[in-house]
Amino acid sequence: MIPVVEFGFSLLTAHLVGDFVLQTERIVRNKRRWSVLLWHSFHHAALAYLFAGRWGAWLLPAAVLASHAAIDRLKLALGPSRFLLWFTLDQAAHVFVIFLLTVWVGEGGETSAWSGWLGTALPRVWIVAGGAIICVRVTGILVGHWVQPYLRELEAARGVLATAPLARGLTNGGRVIGQWERALIYLFILLGQPAGVGFLVAAKSVFRFGELKDRENRMEAEYITIGTLMSFACALGVSYLIAWVLTGL
Protein backbone atom coordinates (compact mmCIF):
# COMPACT_ATOMS: atom_id res chain seq x y z
CA MET A 1 0.00 0.00 0.00
CA ILE A 2 1.15 3.58 -0.71
CA PRO A 3 2.77 4.95 2.49
CA VAL A 4 0.65 8.09 2.46
CA VAL A 5 -2.57 6.03 2.44
CA GLU A 6 -1.25 3.82 5.24
CA PHE A 7 -0.44 6.98 7.17
CA GLY A 8 -4.01 8.22 6.72
CA PHE A 9 -5.44 4.95 8.03
CA SER A 10 -3.21 5.19 11.11
CA LEU A 11 -4.47 8.70 11.89
CA LEU A 12 -8.07 7.68 11.34
CA THR A 13 -7.71 4.71 13.69
CA ALA A 14 -6.05 6.94 16.30
CA HIS A 15 -9.00 9.33 16.07
CA LEU A 16 -11.51 6.50 16.51
CA VAL A 17 -9.69 5.22 19.59
CA GLY A 18 -9.54 8.70 21.10
CA ASP A 19 -13.17 9.62 20.46
CA PHE A 20 -14.95 6.28 20.90
CA VAL A 21 -12.78 4.17 23.21
CA LEU A 22 -10.88 6.50 25.55
CA GLN A 23 -13.49 9.26 25.70
CA THR A 24 -15.73 8.44 28.67
CA GLU A 25 -19.15 9.84 29.47
CA ARG A 26 -17.52 11.85 32.24
CA ILE A 27 -15.26 13.56 29.69
CA VAL A 28 -18.24 14.29 27.45
CA ARG A 29 -20.20 15.84 30.33
CA ASN A 30 -17.31 18.03 31.49
CA LYS A 31 -15.73 18.97 28.17
CA ARG A 32 -16.82 22.59 28.53
CA ARG A 33 -14.02 22.92 31.05
CA TRP A 34 -10.80 23.79 29.24
CA SER A 35 -8.75 21.39 31.34
CA VAL A 36 -10.95 18.45 30.32
CA LEU A 37 -11.09 19.54 26.67
CA LEU A 38 -7.32 19.89 26.46
CA TRP A 39 -6.77 16.55 28.22
CA HIS A 40 -9.08 14.88 25.70
CA SER A 41 -7.28 16.62 22.82
CA PHE A 42 -3.92 15.55 24.26
CA HIS A 43 -5.12 11.93 24.08
CA HIS A 44 -5.75 12.41 20.37
CA ALA A 45 -2.38 14.06 19.81
CA ALA A 46 -0.50 11.28 21.63
CA LEU A 47 -2.42 8.56 19.80
CA ALA A 48 -1.82 10.16 16.40
CA TYR A 49 1.91 10.43 17.06
CA LEU A 50 2.08 6.87 18.41
CA PHE A 51 0.01 5.22 15.69
CA ALA A 52 1.70 7.13 12.86
CA GLY A 53 5.10 5.90 13.99
CA ARG A 54 6.91 8.82 12.37
CA TRP A 55 9.02 10.03 15.26
CA GLY A 56 10.47 12.94 13.31
CA ALA A 57 7.06 14.50 12.64
CA TRP A 58 6.92 16.64 15.79
CA LEU A 59 4.39 19.05 14.31
CA LEU A 60 1.85 16.25 13.86
CA PRO A 61 0.73 15.94 17.52
CA ALA A 62 0.69 19.73 17.89
CA ALA A 63 -1.57 20.07 14.85
CA VAL A 64 -3.88 17.29 16.06
CA LEU A 65 -4.15 18.80 19.56
CA ALA A 66 -4.94 22.29 18.28
CA SER A 67 -7.41 21.21 15.58
CA HIS A 68 -9.24 18.72 17.75
CA ALA A 69 -9.66 21.21 20.60
CA ALA A 70 -10.90 23.88 18.18
CA ILE A 71 -13.46 21.61 16.50
CA ASP A 72 -14.80 20.23 19.78
CA ARG A 73 -15.00 23.73 21.28
CA LEU A 74 -16.98 24.95 18.28
CA LYS A 75 -19.35 22.00 18.59
CA LEU A 76 -19.94 22.83 22.26
CA ALA A 77 -20.66 26.45 21.39
CA LEU A 78 -23.35 25.38 18.93
CA GLY A 79 -25.29 23.58 21.67
CA PRO A 80 -26.59 20.02 22.21
CA SER A 81 -29.67 20.26 19.99
CA ARG A 82 -29.93 18.32 16.71
CA PHE A 83 -27.53 15.64 17.92
CA LEU A 84 -27.27 13.70 14.66
CA LEU A 85 -26.45 16.79 12.59
CA TRP A 86 -23.75 18.07 14.94
CA PHE A 87 -22.34 14.56 15.43
CA THR A 88 -22.01 14.12 11.67
CA LEU A 89 -20.51 17.57 11.10
CA ASP A 90 -18.11 17.13 14.02
CA GLN A 91 -16.79 13.81 12.75
CA ALA A 92 -16.66 15.09 9.16
CA ALA A 93 -14.53 18.03 10.32
CA HIS A 94 -12.13 15.72 12.15
CA VAL A 95 -11.85 13.44 9.10
CA PHE A 96 -11.19 16.46 6.88
CA VAL A 97 -8.35 17.53 9.20
CA ILE A 98 -6.97 13.98 9.03
CA PHE A 99 -7.05 14.23 5.23
CA LEU A 100 -5.14 17.52 5.33
CA LEU A 101 -2.57 16.11 7.74
CA THR A 102 -2.20 13.03 5.55
CA VAL A 103 -1.40 15.20 2.53
CA TRP A 104 0.86 17.50 4.55
CA VAL A 105 2.84 15.00 6.63
CA GLY A 106 2.20 11.72 4.82
CA GLU A 107 3.98 12.76 1.64
CA GLY A 108 7.19 13.41 3.55
CA GLY A 109 8.49 9.98 2.61
CA GLU A 110 9.28 8.79 6.15
CA THR A 111 8.26 5.20 6.81
CA SER A 112 6.28 4.23 9.88
CA ALA A 113 8.36 2.63 12.63
CA TRP A 114 5.68 -0.06 12.91
CA SER A 115 6.38 -1.24 9.35
CA GLY A 116 9.54 -2.96 10.56
CA TRP A 117 7.45 -5.16 12.85
CA LEU A 118 4.29 -5.72 10.85
CA GLY A 119 5.46 -5.12 7.28
CA THR A 120 2.70 -5.25 4.69
CA ALA A 121 0.19 -6.34 7.34
CA LEU A 122 0.27 -2.89 8.97
CA PRO A 123 -2.54 -1.27 6.93
CA ARG A 124 -4.72 -4.32 7.61
CA VAL A 125 -4.17 -3.81 11.33
CA TRP A 126 -5.37 -0.20 11.12
CA ILE A 127 -8.36 -1.08 8.94
CA VAL A 128 -9.51 -4.02 11.07
CA ALA A 129 -9.05 -2.09 14.33
CA GLY A 130 -10.79 1.00 12.98
CA GLY A 131 -13.63 -1.06 11.52
CA ALA A 132 -14.14 -2.81 14.87
CA ILE A 133 -14.51 0.53 16.66
CA ILE A 134 -16.97 1.80 14.06
CA CYS A 135 -18.96 -1.43 14.20
CA VAL A 136 -19.09 -1.77 17.99
CA ARG A 137 -18.97 1.78 19.35
CA VAL A 138 -19.94 4.30 16.65
CA THR A 139 -22.99 2.40 15.42
CA GLY A 140 -24.01 1.89 19.05
CA ILE A 141 -24.19 5.66 19.51
CA LEU A 142 -26.26 6.05 16.34
CA VAL A 143 -28.65 3.20 17.18
CA GLY A 144 -29.07 4.58 20.70
CA HIS A 145 -30.08 7.92 19.20
CA TRP A 146 -32.44 6.40 16.63
CA VAL A 147 -34.40 4.37 19.21
CA GLN A 148 -34.86 7.29 21.63
CA PRO A 149 -38.37 8.15 20.35
CA TYR A 150 -39.49 4.54 20.89
CA LEU A 151 -37.94 4.46 24.34
CA ARG A 152 -39.73 7.66 25.37
CA GLU A 153 -43.03 6.23 24.13
CA LEU A 154 -42.41 3.00 26.03
CA GLU A 155 -41.57 4.81 29.26
CA ALA A 156 -44.61 7.06 28.91
CA ALA A 157 -46.84 4.00 28.54
CA ARG A 158 -45.23 2.28 31.52
CA GLY A 159 -45.56 4.96 34.16
CA VAL A 160 -44.94 2.39 36.86
CA LEU A 161 -41.26 2.07 35.97
CA ALA A 162 -40.30 4.36 38.82
CA THR A 163 -41.83 1.92 41.31
CA ALA A 164 -40.45 -1.18 39.59
CA PRO A 165 -36.77 -0.50 38.86
CA LEU A 166 -35.91 -4.18 38.37
CA ALA A 167 -38.16 -4.25 35.29
CA ARG A 168 -35.52 -2.26 33.43
CA GLY A 169 -32.75 -4.79 34.01
CA LEU A 170 -29.09 -3.96 34.61
CA THR A 171 -27.73 -0.45 34.20
CA ASN A 172 -26.37 -0.16 30.63
CA GLY A 173 -27.08 -3.89 30.18
CA GLY A 174 -28.70 -3.36 26.80
CA ARG A 175 -25.77 -1.26 25.60
CA VAL A 176 -23.23 -3.90 26.59
CA ILE A 177 -25.29 -6.66 24.97
CA GLY A 178 -25.47 -4.64 21.75
CA GLN A 179 -21.72 -4.06 21.74
CA TRP A 180 -21.02 -7.76 22.14
CA GLU A 181 -23.53 -8.60 19.41
CA ARG A 182 -21.91 -6.25 16.94
CA ALA A 183 -18.42 -7.41 17.90
CA LEU A 184 -19.41 -11.04 17.24
CA ILE A 185 -21.05 -10.13 13.92
CA TYR A 186 -17.88 -8.28 12.91
CA LEU A 187 -15.77 -11.28 13.85
CA PHE A 188 -18.02 -13.77 12.04
CA ILE A 189 -18.05 -11.74 8.81
CA LEU A 190 -14.30 -11.12 8.73
CA LEU A 191 -13.66 -14.80 9.40
CA GLY A 192 -15.95 -15.72 6.51
CA GLN A 193 -18.54 -17.37 8.75
CA PRO A 194 -21.81 -15.44 8.16
CA ALA A 195 -23.81 -18.45 9.40
CA GLY A 196 -22.65 -17.47 12.88
CA VAL A 197 -24.88 -14.39 12.65
CA GLY A 198 -27.90 -16.67 12.30
CA PHE A 199 -26.84 -18.53 15.42
CA LEU A 200 -26.54 -15.19 17.23
CA VAL A 201 -30.07 -14.19 16.21
CA ALA A 202 -31.44 -17.55 17.36
CA ALA A 203 -29.62 -17.36 20.67
CA LYS A 204 -30.94 -13.87 21.40
CA SER A 205 -34.48 -14.96 20.55
CA VAL A 206 -34.24 -17.81 23.06
CA PHE A 207 -32.85 -15.57 25.81
CA ARG A 208 -35.51 -12.91 25.24
CA PHE A 209 -38.44 -15.32 24.91
CA GLY A 210 -39.43 -15.28 28.56
CA GLU A 211 -39.39 -11.50 28.60
CA LEU A 212 -41.40 -11.00 25.42
CA LYS A 213 -43.95 -13.78 25.33
CA ASP A 214 -46.66 -11.92 27.29
CA ARG A 215 -49.07 -9.63 25.46
CA GLU A 216 -48.59 -6.82 28.00
CA ASN A 217 -44.94 -6.67 26.94
CA ARG A 218 -45.76 -6.03 23.30
CA MET A 219 -44.42 -2.45 23.26
CA GLU A 220 -41.19 -3.55 24.89
CA ALA A 221 -40.93 -6.45 22.44
CA GLU A 222 -41.32 -4.07 19.50
CA TYR A 223 -38.79 -1.65 21.00
CA ILE A 224 -36.22 -4.42 21.50
CA THR A 225 -36.87 -5.81 18.01
CA ILE A 226 -36.44 -2.41 16.37
CA GLY A 227 -33.20 -1.77 18.25
CA THR A 228 -31.88 -5.24 17.47
CA LEU A 229 -32.66 -4.96 13.75
CA MET A 230 -31.00 -1.54 13.57
CA SER A 231 -27.95 -2.83 15.44
CA PHE A 232 -27.63 -5.96 13.30
CA ALA A 233 -28.12 -4.03 10.05
CA CYS A 234 -25.42 -1.48 10.96
CA ALA A 235 -23.02 -4.21 12.10
CA LEU A 236 -23.52 -6.23 8.91
CA GLY A 237 -23.09 -3.14 6.73
CA VAL A 238 -19.85 -2.08 8.41
CA SER A 239 -18.51 -5.63 8.53
CA TYR A 240 -19.05 -6.31 4.84
CA LEU A 241 -17.62 -2.90 3.95
CA ILE A 242 -14.42 -3.62 5.90
CA ALA A 243 -14.21 -7.12 4.40
CA TRP A 244 -14.54 -5.57 0.92
CA VAL A 245 -11.78 -3.03 1.67
CA LEU A 246 -9.49 -5.81 2.92
CA THR A 247 -9.99 -7.81 -0.28
CA GLY A 248 -8.63 -4.85 -2.25
CA LEU A 249 -5.29 -4.79 -0.39
List the chain domain ranges.
Answer: 3-113, 136-247
pLDDT in tens, 86-126: 899 999 999 999 999 998 886 666 788 998 888 889 999 99
The pLDDT value given to residue 169: 59
* Top-confidence range, 151-155, 204-208, 238-242: 238-242
- The mean pLDDT of 22-35, rounded to a whole number, is 94
pLDDT band at 31 (very low <50, low <70, confident <90, very high): very high
The pLDDT value given to residue 210: 56
The share of the chain scoring above pLDDT 90, in percent, equals: 59
CA distance 238 to 137: 12
pLDDT in tens, 184-206: 999 999 999 999 998 888 877 76
CA distance 68 to 204: 39
Mean pLDDT, rounded, of the chain: 87
pLDDT in tens, 218-231: 777 778 888 899 99
Nearest to 34 by CA among 67, 83, 72: 72
Contacts of 6 (CB under 8 A, 6+ apart): 112, 122, 123, 126
- The mean pLDDT of 23-27, rounded to a whole number, is 94
Nearest to 94 by CA among 129, 63, 117, 125: 63
